[in-house]
Amino acid sequence: MNNLLVMPVLIPLCTAVLLMFLKEQVLVQRWISTLGGILNLVVSVILAARIHHEGIQTLHMGGWAPPYGIVFVGDMFAALLVLTASVVSLGILLYSFTSIGAEREKFYYYTFFHFLLVGVYGSFLTGDIFNLFVFFEVMLISSYALISLGGIRLQLRETSKYLLINIVSSTLFVAAVAYLYAAVGTLNMAHLSQRIHEAGQGGVLNVIAVLFLIVFALKAGLFLFFWLPGSYSAPPAAVRALFGALLTKVGLYAIIRTFTLIFAEDPDFTNGWIAWMAAATMILGSLGAVAYNDIPRILNYNVIVSVGFVAFGLSAGTPDALDGAVFYLLHDMLGKALMFILGGLMIAAAGTDRLEHMGGLIKRYPLLGWSFFALALALAGIPPFSGFPGKVLIIRGGLDAGMLTLSLIGLGSSLLVLYSLIKVFRLAFWGNMPDTEPPKVKLKSGTAVAAGLLVLVILMGLGAERVNTYVSQAGEVLGSPRLYIEAVLKE
């Protein structure tokens, strides 16, 4: 047995519970949160190293053997996502200290923050479909609290929408689980995969697969992203960073896991659906990114484009494309967190989020400006940065699978992403200072956090070969579900 596997869930859970008792002591809350974050980072590094050397780790909760009990499964894919999520969340936590404000901090901000992490890590590590639903709900309920915390009118309105969409998609999730249980009679993911393999996928199982795709697409913002641009504009920048970096990625993780492990028997059918959804997501997302003139909307549409890109990698399904999807997903968590932090700093520096009222920021904040420039190159996939290897692998996989149109759409969306971010850079950092006196704000510590994340983005790009040894180990399991099933259902 291997209790290390449950630690990424247990540590933020204990931290969150502890923080509930310290409502007024903001400073103590900050220290405990940081400590919890660092502890989690250490644990996830150890976990990734152990999986690298010893293969897939499993933990049978309460000693009940699967499929009867709940099992936690740590394969390389899950471990890498947990590791990246813990790095990103630590960065966002440090950024929250200076940006979130004492009002919110005193109303359990850090508690909700850590509960959200419980849901995220739990979703990555669980090996049971209904347990995945519960962890999704843990994550979503914390996100409802975080998106509405502060209670300004915009937040109240957007939370109502966000809440409604997620209640509907959670209801569909339960319905999908009900149909799946009726059809197959188990809830354990490995066991599900085995039974679907025995029964052969087709007819009713394909319908259930599409229902799951709709559910997770609603959560991830894959084609069904109509709720995302508005909802992600409402909360403060630190919360936006947390959502943009983690929430949609959990949906993507669920899509990848479901369609490489459980419904892997009829790839022509499921991948066809994912492919056109990915194409539509990339096209509509990049059009949205180009169309708008306020920073939050441009950044939100950039989140949508990358969701489409990872889904394209999944739909291609070749080993290269799967490796690329994993690599790009890791890069994207870092990149999107950095993007929202930089966006938040820019809004704070200029005192407005409209691009036409900005200008000349480069004179006052050169480090911020050049960081944003580097980020724009990284997200577009220019070679020295981390966006490049993932994109190359996905495009190569797509061409191998004969998906020429989708590969072209992918490349075109990269171009539009670059255009939208360079537009932000040009209008906000160059040009003349606006006539109105800009607000005096301290951005040193926020910029330091952003610079730290930027260094990681660069290191991930430069050390792509080293990262790839881990990524290909993750891609291997995604490519052959046998490995996963044997690790879980051995004995």
Partner 1 sequence: MEWMMAVAVGVLFTVGVYLILSKTLLRIVLGTSLLTHGVHLLLLTMAGLKKGAAPVLGGKADAYVDPLPQALILTSIVISFGVTAFFFVLAYRAYQAHGTDELDNVREEEQ
Single residue of 25, 171, 436, 445 touching partner 1 by CB under 8 A: 171
Closest distance between partner 1 and the C-beta of residue 130, in Å?
6
Distance between CA 312 and CA 403 in Å, rounded? 10
Which residues does 174 contact at the CB level (< 8 Å), separation at least 6? 133
DSSP code, position 353: S
Tokens of 121: 């890590």
42 contacts partner 1 (rule: CB under 8 A):
no
Total residues binding partner 1 (CB under 8 A): 28
Question: Does 367 sit near partner 1 (CB under 8 A)?
Answer: no
CB atoms within 10 A of CB 383: 11
Angle between helices 481-488 and 189-199 (to 10 degrees): 120
Give the x/- contact pattern for partner 1 in 266-295, rule: CB under 8 A. ------------------------------
Place of tokens 């480090």: 367
Nearest alpha-carbon partner for 406 in 297, 467, 307, 315: 315
In whole angstroms, the minimum distance from the beta carbon of 71 to partner 1 comes to 16
**Toward partner 1, which CB reaches closer, 42 or 152?**
152
Helices within 351-430 (DSSP H only)? 361-364, 366-380, 387-400, 404-429
Shortest approach of partner 1 to residue 325 CB, angstroms?
30
Taking CB under 8 A as the criterion, the residue among 69, 101, 151, 439 binding partner 1 is 151
CA distances (Å), origin 333, targets 225, 237, 307:
18, 16, 11
**Residue 283 CB coordination number (10 Å):** 16
Rule CB under 8 A: is residue 442 a binding residue for partner 1?
no
Q: Give dist(CA 324, CA 267) in Å, integer.
A: 18
**Cα–Cα dist 304/231, whole Å:** 13
- Asked whether position 233 contacts partner 1 by CB under 8 A, the answer is no
Q: Which of 25, 160, 405, 445 binds partner 1 (CB under 8 A)?
A: 160
Asked if residue 164 binds partner 1 (CB under 8 A), the reply is: yes
Measured from the CB atom, the residue of 28 and 65 that comes closer to partner 1 is 65
Determine, following the binding rule CB under 8 A, whether residue 64 of this chain makes contact with partner 1.
no
99-138 residues in contact with partner 1 (CB under 8 A) are 130, 133-134, 137
* Of 101-109, 149-157, 195-203, 343-351: span binding partner 1 (CB under 8 A): 149-157
In angstroms, the Cα distances linking 13 to 37, 114, 276, 376 are 11, 7, 39, 35
Query: Are the CB atoms for 4 and 73 separated by under 8 Å?
Result: no
Q: Single out the residue of 35, 178, 291, 415 in contact with partner 1 (rule: CB under 8 A).
A: 178
Q: Does 177 bind partner 1 (CB under 8 A)?
A: yes
d(CA 136, CA 141): 9
The residue among 35 and 154 lying less far from partner 1, judged by its C-beta, is 154
144 binds partner 1 (CB under 8 A): yes
Place of tokens 């479909």: 129
Structure-token pair, residue 55: 């293969």
Interface residue with partner 1 among 10, 141, 290, 348 (CB under 8 A) is: 141
Identity of the residue, 186 or 371, whose beta carbon is nearer to partner 1 in the bound complex: 186
Query: By C-beta, is 2 or 170 nearer to partner 1?
Result: 170
| Closer Cβ to partner 1, 159 or 318, answer by number | 159
Residue 20 lies near partner 1 (rule: CB under 8 A) = no
Q: Decide if residue 187 touches partner 1 (CB under 8 A).
A: yes
Minimum CB distance to partner 1 smaller for 31 or for 68: 68
Which position among 39, 59, 163, 210 is part of the footprint of partner 1 (CB under 8 A)? 163
**Which of 36, 30, 29, 46 lies closest to 14, judged by CA?**
36
Residue with tokens 């990114």: 289
Q: For residues 213 and 453, which CB has a smaller minimum distance to partner 1 in the complex?
A: 213
Q: Does 157 bind partner 1 (CB under 8 A)?
A: yes
- The yes or no reply on residue 174 touching partner 1 (CB under 8 A) is yes
Q: Count the neighbouring beta carbons within 10 Å of the beta carbon of residue 469.
A: 10
Q: How far apart are CA 352 and CA 358, in angstroms?
A: 7
Residue 114 or residue 391: which is nearer to partner 1 going by CB?
A: 114
The CA–CA distances, whole Å, from 303 to 220, 286, 333, 338, 454 equal 10, 10, 10, 12, 18
Q: Which of 6, 30, 52, 179 binds partner 1 (CB under 8 A)?
A: 179
Min dist. Cβ of residue 281 to partner 1 (A): 24
Contact present, 116 and 146 (Cβ < 8 Å): yes
Q: How far is CA 184 from its chain centroid?
A: 30
Q: Is 462 a residue that touches partner 1 (CB under 8 A)?
A: no
Say how far residue 320 (Cα) sits from the centre of its chain.
21
Q: Which stretch binds partner 1 (CB under 8 A): 2-10, 41-49, 153-161, 398-406?
A: 153-161
Q: How far is the CB of 148 from partner 1 (least distance, A)?
A: 7
- For partner 1, the binding residues (CB under 8 A) are 130, 133-134, 137, 141, 144, 148, 151, 153-154, 156-157, 159-160, 163-164, 167-168, 170-171, 174-175, 177-179, 181-182, 187
